[in-house]
Chain A
Amino acid sequence: MVNIKINGVEHAIEAEADMPLLWAIRDLVGLTGTKFGCGMAQCGACTVYVDGSPTRSCQTFIGDIDGAEVTTIEGLKGKVAETVQSVWAELDVPQCGYCQSGQIMSATDLLASNPKPTDTDIDAAMSGNLCRCATYHRIRAGIHEAAKRLEA
């Protein structure tokens, strides 16, 4: 059994230690905002925060994070996150939307540490998040717009 706090709620997870956090979140805890795209840390659709750091949950084994605090898209809060999310909706960034939970987790983390990212900073921080619909153009625009609003 592994104890993980997810979005502020303690969960005692009955599963083998080698279960990826992704499947614990989706199939055991029942939160579906975190997505499965590749299962090998290649696409970023499964990005969550583990103790505050963006992490690919498909390659994080629950046995390794006993006692950790996990934040998923459902638990994402705060001024930066809310700004990113409202800008995302206003600029109609998503197409299919499947990658967007991961994009928002990564974008929020970027803005939290770098309030005025350049295009190069954005490309570096976001290149682990695949978007097969190629919404990249609007992701960049969204991050710049959120930065502008947060500065004001």
Chain B
Amino acid sequence: MIPKLMQSMALPARVEASRRQFLLGALAAGTGIAVGYRLLSASPALAGEAQAGNDSHAFSPYLTIGGDGKVTILSSQFEMGQGSYNGIATLVAEELDADWSTIDVKGAAGNIPAYGNIAFGGTMQGTGGSTSMSTSWERYRKAGAAARAMLIAAAAAEWKVDAAEITVENGVLSHPSGKSGGFGAYAAKATTMPVPADVKLKEPSAWKFIGNAELKRFDSARKANGTEQYTIDVKLPGMLTAVMIHPPLFGAKAKSFDASAARAIKGVVDVVETPRGIAVVGEHMWAAIKGREAVTVEWDESGAEKRGTAELMSTYRDLAGKTPAAFARKDGDAEAAFAAAAKVIEATFEFPYLAHAALEPLNAVARRNEDGTIEIWGGHQLPDVYQKLASEIAGVPVENVRLNVMKTGGSFGRRAVFDGDVVVEAVHVAKALGFRAPVKVQWTREEDTRAGRYRPAYVHRLKAGIDADGKLVAWSDHIVGQSIVAKTAWDGMVQNGVDPTSVEGANNLPYAIQNQTVGLTTTDVRVPVLWWRSVGSTHTAFAAEAFLDEVAQAAGRDPLEFRLSMLEPQSRHATVLKLAAEKAEWQKPLPEGRFRGVAVAESFGSVVAQIAEVSTDGNGIKVERVVAAVDCGLAINPDQVRAQVEGGIGFGLSAILGEEITLTDGKVDQGNFDMYTPLRIDAMPKVEVHIVASSNPPSGIGEPGVPPIGPAVANAAFKALGKRIRVMPFAKSLNA
């Protein structure tokens, strides 16, 4: 259905640029699918929904306006907390001249021409790779402008005046004659007006919403009073709740199970088998949980992964010392340059598996409606994929699967899965129950931690050569770990043995290093892996930026000056480094007991520099303050850019300080937050975020705050403790 090449979630910047051009070119020439905004009339389903919504009028697949003037934006991008709904609302409100207090946003799916992600080639809908604002930038502004033009046309017809004389402000249409009215009054008529063939967008100087640092999120109040609705909150008449028993080893299968004791428990309705595990179905969550404890399962572990972390990592370390299986970059002659270098240093970095651990454990709700259609509620980060999978399981045509895109309590990439995991489970369970009731599959925290999909574990072997003048003349990075996309529907992304998500952030270093190689050895392990907020850069940026600090030290140079000496002075990297250094007062000595480290990384089209300040008691470190400088192109919502960088810093810090998934004989050791330990408030530093003014189109911001924090803190920790942090999480290096 979907050409493999187009199914990327997080292409490395370079590949992305060239591939995107190729894809867009191919699409424009071949299939005639327009990219960007399409002035489509509303789909029948949408029009139906609009009618059902009582006096709500669909202007396009992107927005409806109610008779009460309420503007409901239909978002192609899924909301997991990163603020994409708010960003899209900002774009629409700007061109519509809407009243911000009347704005709401709903997730939409099932219309690829309208909702396809432009960064993925436009042929599939999806949220990932920090592309929500770049894919929406033209599309949703044009949708707002088109609706505005239609409202004006309707008012002009009614008032019998020239449309050019009508002005719009804050949701109100006005004419110099004194006539005026709100959007609601003209919404019905406006949707009968011709859809403008093209619309002119506002000049940046006229923007009121875009770039306005004072604009507040439209959805904060409902999150502060508990009324926001997530997937876990979906309630349907007669709905049952199921919890899963997944195989204890990856690749194991249920041989048989005994549910007789479970069935005797009050509130347990059924125990059913699915291809992904056993589901215990209850009248409510507690009955299902109790039932789960009473089920015994015999597993066939013959095809399962049985290796533990220690064994895997030692294999990875060995591989890292050998010649890479493939190369992602080869510049100059690294071998000759190493041989001629005055000094050569080497280091090995190790990164564990990481869980996404979103606070809302995975869930989805499935129901077969009376007309035979299947309806699914969930965090549909890749809706087209889930729709297709559900249609196959339920045996109904794709168009008979309807997705309700819910907001979720985090995701961090976890809900963008090739195999649809929890969504598929919900359909399987509903089917196993003969579709006699709607069913919510709700994972427990332990299932969420143990049932897989992790940031892969990696080992990096780095080597650098310095000449007699302290100049970096040769660099090599050998990455060893699992591929996220190989052997999945996204397999086509692997080119010449290189999965771009394994090497992004390593093969596009901004520094002028004449001789360099980036090698990759992809391992075959049955632990299921996935993109995890900032994907490849979670480990590549750490390895590169922490090792660069070691090189600077070996060359006897200041880490900031050393980096700047290898960058074009006007480059984005140099700009954010200098801005962060200025705000953190890099040149000024710190008080006794405080130490600084710097790092910079580019991901998803944005560049972020961070300077971390740590204190120490002699044994460990505490991160006290982080100063970040960000170039993310035009900041649509400056305060949300700040929020994403603050949160990204907390998320990245969380990983390096205290997160790891380990396996013993193939079994995951961690289950709940007592063992898998995300950052708590007492470890959160003070954060300052500075945004570089830019008129470039918006690039990513949900992820780019994450990569620099680890190496910035590691580099500061070296100053504080004299120890290099090369094995994650930190405690492993400090106690080594």
Contact = CB atoms under 8 A, between A and B. Distances in A.
Interface in B594-613: none
B681 A122 contact: yes
Contacts of B682: 123-124, 127
Interface string A133-152: 11111111000000000000
Contact of A95 (B221, B232, B289, B643): B643
B290 to A, nearest CB: 8
Contacts of A23: 284-286
A139 B360 CA distance: 19
Interface in B344-374: 357-361
Contacts of B221: 85, 89
Contacts of B230: 35, 98
Nearest to B680: A127
Given A92-B640, A137-B684, A97 B223 contact: yes
Interface stretch (B79-87, B295-303, B517-525, B582-590): B79-87
A88 B220 contact: yes
A101 B640 CA distance: 21
B410 A96 contact: yes
Contacts of A15: 286
B681 A96 contact: no
A37 interface: yes
B651 interface: yes
A65 interface: no
B654 A134 contact: yes
A14 to B, nearest CB: 10
B409 to A, nearest CB: 3
A68 interface: no
A40 B81 CA distance: 24
Contacts of B270: none
Interface stretch (B35-43, B110-118, B461-469, B671-679): B671-679
A35 B444 CA distance: 12
B444 A133 contact: no
A16 B359 contact: no
A39 B445 contact: yes
Contacts of A76: 225
Contacts of A132: 357-359, 409-410, 412, 651, 678
B445 A92 contact: no
A32 interface: yes
Interface string B632-650: 0000000110010011111
Contacts of A73: 225-226
Interface string B226-247: 1111101101000001000000
A98 B409 contact: yes
Interface size class of B (residues with CB under 8 A): 35 or more
Interface residues of A, number: 59
Contacts of A95: 81-83, 643, 647
A45 B359 contact: yes
A28 B357 CA distance: 27
A123 B680 CA distance: 9
Contacts of A130: 359, 673, 678, 680
Contact of A96 (B216, B224, B359): B359
A38 B647 contact: no
A80 interface: no
Given A39-B445, A123-B682, A93 B651 contact: no
Interface string A85-107: 11011101111111111001000
A95 B641 CA distance: 12
A128 to B, nearest CB: 8
**Binding site of A, secondary structure by majority: helix, strand, loop or mixed?**
loop
B687 A137 contact: yes
B681 A126 contact: yes
A136 B650 contact: yes
A27 B646 contact: no
B54 to A, nearest CB: 24
A124 B222 CA distance: 27
B408 interface: yes
Interface in A1-54: 15-16, 19-20, 23, 26-28, 30, 32-40, 42-43, 45
A134 B684 contact: yes
B266 interface: yes
Contacts of A135: 643, 646-647, 650
Contact of A32 (B225, B233, B639): B233
A58 B221 CA distance: 25
A43 B359 contact: yes
A88 B81 contact: no
A64 interface: no
A97 B81 CA distance: 7
B409 A96 contact: yes
A102 to B, nearest CB: 9
A16 B266 contact: yes
A30 B444 CA distance: 19
B673 A92 contact: no
Given A73-B226, A98-B408, A130-B678, 4 more contacts: A42-B445, A89-B216, A97-B224, A97-B228
9 contacts: A37-B361, A38-B673, A45-B359, A73-B225, A88-B220, A96-B407, A127-B680, A134-B646, A136-B680
